[in-house]
Structure 1
């Protein structure tokens, strides 16, 4: 029995296109220092032009490649069984006009949604009635209620999403971040099931 090497695949990595992928790019190793330095430089895959945006590496195929190169070693997998490699190209800076247009579109859409909601629940009438109950006077525009309410609505949205522009208020994730994380996990699971070469062979 040869020396034992523990190998743990990374969940997800970003790799430039036309890049050689080495073991250190997709996995963590636990071994003595000499073997670790040698194995980390082991060639795993050459990204090809026909590869689209994602390549999935399965632990079994990785171990097979390593055994071919180092037959005297014993590899023990731990952790995730697949690594998703996202092939990225040089990204341009976002166009200011496009970003401004999208921001304006979202701003108008959000404003319309809020106004329609307030119209549906008769918010103005509610505030007028509340003003009458507190003061005993009729007032069509109770600004002393409407202005703090509008400010509080904006502050409530900031607290709900836990962000002021790029600055996070505290370490707790916002509901939007949790939903995006769940969506990304489901997407990664789908990719693993449909892009994994081992899974494709099993299906056939």
Structure 2
């Protein structure tokens, strides 16, 4: 093989794997290489999942390059994108118990309802509705239902539009604020895992020296 054979790789950000799975180069990276090397590189073993790996594994690009060079010594590697990929070990999950799901649903329903009612009490929403009713009709009404009922329905519709979901059905392709926050949290968590792994590697190297 010519000494100027070049490989361009981009590590995937996060890959889900199974316990005891063999993880190959084609699983953790996107790459461009000469056609005669493509299949050979795809089957290079990068890592084997063991029980000691627990839940998350950080694969550094240096380990990937080391495995590639063992198989193809004169390979020139160009790295594009992140320098680490995270392997998330997915264990079989048990179906949630109906009683537990019902308990959590009731707890969230009551808690959110109390939160809304306490907020309305703090801002004197009833008094506001009564004042609006008097401004429009000129009459006193202790329970202006024709204002309160549409307002209550509007809260529910507004929550559906805000979270962009009706049960599992998405209303449109735009992500909801909750999904954006979860994405930001996942990004921060992944960055912490990578940084923590780097510190652990440095600590091991210092201990060995």
TM superposition score category, shorter chain reference: over 0.9
CA distance in 2, matches of 1:94, 1:40: 38
Aligned twin of 2:137: 135
Taking the TM superposition and a 5 Å limit, the aligned residue runs for 1:60-79 are 60-79=62-81
Taking the TM superposition and a 5 Å limit, the aligned residue runs for 1:91-110 are 91-110=93-112
Q: How many residues align?
A: 202
- Candidates 133, 149, 152, aligned match of 1:150: 152
1:182 aligns with 2:173: no
Aligned twin of 2:117: 115
CA distance in 2, matches of 1:48, 1:159: 44
Q: Any gaps of 5 or more consecutive residues in structure 1? A: none
With normalisation by structure 1, the TM-score equals 0.95
Residue 75 (structure 1) shift = 1.5
Residue 201 (structure 1) shift = 3.4
RMSD: 1.2
1:201 aligns with 2:189: no
Aligned twin of 1:173: 175
Residue 58 (structure 1) shift = 0.6
Task: Give CA-to-partner distance per residue, 1:93-131, whole Å, 9 cap, x none.
Answer: 222221121111111110000000000011111111111
SS at structure 2 position matched to 1:50: helix
Task: Give CA-to-partner distance per residue, 1:17-46, whole Å, 9 cap, x none.
Answer: 111111111111101222111100001111
CA distance in 2, matches of 1:201, 1:188: 17
Residue 73 (structure 1) shift = 1.5
Is the deviation greater in 91-100 or in 77-86?
91-100
SS at structure 2 position matched to 1:80: coil
CA distance in 1, matches of 2:144, 2:104: 34
Of the two structures, which has the highest relative contact order with CA contacts closer than 8 Å and spacing of 6 or more? 1
Residue 136 (structure 1) shift = 0.8
Residue 182 (structure 1) shift = 0.5
Task: Give CA-to-partner distance per residue, 1:69-105, whole Å, 9 cap, x none.
Answer: 2102211111111100011111222222211211111
Aligned twin of 1:164: 166
Q: Any gaps of 5 or more consecutive residues in structure 2? A: none
Residue 64 (structure 1) shift = 1.2
